[in-house]
Chains A and B, each alone.
Chain A
Amino acid sequence: MAGGGNVVATWLNTWGFPPWLNSLLTGIIYLVGVLAFIFLNVIYLIYLERKVSAYMQQRLGPNRVGPRGLLQSVADALKLLGKEDIVPRHVDKWVFLVAPIAIFIPAVLLYAVIPFGRGLIAADLNIGVLYFLAVSSTTTIAILMGGWAANNKYALLGAMRAVAQMVSYEIPLVFSILGVVMLVGSLKTTDIVAAQEDVWFIFWQPVAFLIFFIAANAEVNRGPFDLVEGEQEIIAGPYVEYTAMRYALFFLSEYANLVSVSALAVTLFLGGWQGPWLPSWLWFIIKLYIMILLFMWVRWTFPRIRIDHLLKLNWKFLLPLSLVNILVTGVGIKVYQWLSPGRW
């Protein structure tokens, strides 16, 4: 039923299950795969981030736990698992307790529409990209819940900044993707990858890629846009009152979102899993890590920007630029259609 080139679904079809069971099993298999992917990636991304930042600042970084410090993140995760869970006295208890779960759900749900390789996609929805944007925007609510419920001024400041920033940068992010959607004529992520067999969309939509990259940086609260956490002024923003596993879930979701937004960038602009010689999933991982390293490079290079500059950059530069990009793309496609009527 859910076949259509999907490796797992096609394999399950050979067993002759009823379609609902087939979908259910497909979902479970992909869920296990995606969770393993998230946990492994996050554990080693934290290590990678610390190492990259260390080498950029001419330090060594973690090098005590395991060979070259490779087990540092594992040790940190185990430590967080055994930590006391403190719920401060003045918090809004239920919201405070639910927020870490609420932030983890979209982080996992986003991976449902990522094509990891040829036929490796959990749910090839016909509204794939829109689904990704819709689900990712609910992260804002979870951060606001955490920040508000903590009854802490730093947390509330961080949460309000998170809302202002994530909500604002969503607009250019969404508009930059429009150019790609216009070129493909579909919101399916697999169609978008298939359309890039000859030329990656980064060459057709360089401005859109730039806008996407900047806005994505702000969406995951990283790099020069980490006002939400702002360690030096508001400690850790919305996460300041969280301890143990609740804090770990926030941290995990943050890195999971970094991976998924990089995966979306790869899918939309860098040709997804397309590439010669190597297997498709390997190409995907290589491109994914190039994107992630780009994010890290930016984060450890630029200083944090002020909130008025942040919003000015968004509303007075990125938004008009993305609108112009849509216009130019539209005119370009129409002129191309007009010049070569046979192809369309």
Chain B
Amino acid sequence: MANRIERKSRLGEDLLIFWGRCSKILYQYVVVAVFLLGAIGVAVAALAANWLVRPKRPVAGAKGETYECGLETQGPTWVRFKVSYFLYALIFLLFDVETVFLYPWAVKFQVMGWFAFAEMIVFIGILVLGLWYAWKEGALEWK
């Protein structure tokens, strides 16, 4: 019985030590969480204040229509969209993934040797090659 209690308390201690290691970083995210909740709270409060004081008239007739400079809207809005946007999105995705690799490299750049430098040059070089190919194929043109 006593043994079990002891083991239990030791587990508790281990957890505390583990928590102690994590907490230094995690407590900073408590602040971020407070900011997140606070932002939602303030936005909702602003809308609620607006709801309290504004005139509440039903949206009837032309008031609820889509406003396109007074002309009636023609055809559906939610249609298939110009493909150029998606091409740019694809290239963006490529380079955004690259940043994920580049940031840790940049942080540790000074303590790493020439090898890491050369390696990253090769990595960027491949991407530049990709950019050059996209450029050549006209993916960067707005058509």
Contacts and interface: CB of A to CB of B under 8 A. Distances in A.
A100 B27 contact: no
B29 A123 contact: yes
Given A125-B28, A181-B107, A249-B46, A86 B34 contact: no
B43 A249 contact: yes
Contacts of B63: 86
Interface string A164-179: 1001101100110010
Contacts, number: 216
Interface residues of B, number: 70
A185 B111 contact: yes
Contacts of A24: 30, 34
A163 B67 contact: no
B69 A235 contact: yes
A297 B31 CA distance: 35
A28 B44 CA distance: 17
Interface in A145-189: 148, 150-154, 156, 160, 163-164, 167-168, 170-171, 174-175, 178, 181-182, 185-187
Given A152-B66, A185-B107, A185-B110, A81 B28 contact: no
A34 to B, nearest CB: 7
Interface in A293-344: 307-308, 311-312, 315-316, 319-320, 323, 326-327, 330, 333-334, 337, 344
Interface stretch (A55-63, A219-227, A238-246): A238-246
Interface stretch (A41-49, A108-116, A200-208): A108-116
B109 interface: yes
Contacts of B66: 88, 90, 150-152, 241
Contact of A107 (B23, B25, B39, B49): B39
A297 to B, nearest CB: 28
Contact of A327 (B24, B114, B124): B124
Contacts of A235: 69
B49 A101 contact: no
A85 B51 contact: yes
Given A152-B66, A171-B96, A244-B54, A23 B31 contact: yes
A130 interface: yes
Interface string A76-93: 000011111111111000
A122 interface: yes
B109 A163 contact: no
User: Most chain-A CB neighbours within 10 Å: which of B46, B68, B99, B108?
Assistant: B46
A197 B139 CA distance: 44
B85 A163 contact: yes
A30 interface: yes
- Max count, chain A CB within 10 A of own CB: residue among B36, B51, B89, B128: B36
B41 to A, nearest CB: 9
Interface in B40-78: 40, 42-44, 46-47, 49-51, 53-57, 59, 63-69, 73, 77-78
A309 to B, nearest CB: 9
Contact of B54 (A82, A160, A326, A327): A82
A185 B66 CA distance: 52
Interface in B76-116: 77-78, 81-82, 84-85, 88-89, 91-92, 95-96, 99, 102-103, 106-111, 114
In the complex, which of the residues A27, A83, A89, A175 has the most CB atoms of chain B within 10 Å of its own CB atom?
A: A27
Contacts of A241: 66-67
13 contacts: A27-B38, A85-B54, A87-B64, A105-B36, A109-B39, A122-B31, A123-B29, A164-B88, A182-B106, A307-B142, A311-B142, A330-B121, A344-B110
Interface of A: 1-2, 19-20, 22-24, 26-28, 30-31, 34-35, 80-90, 100-101, 104-105, 107-109, 111-112, 122-126, 130, 148, 150-154, 156, 160, 163-164, 167-168, 170-171, 174-175, 178, 181-182, 185-187, 235, 240-241, 244-246, 248-249, 307-308, 311-312, 315-316, 319-320, 323, 326-327, 330, 333-334, 337, 344
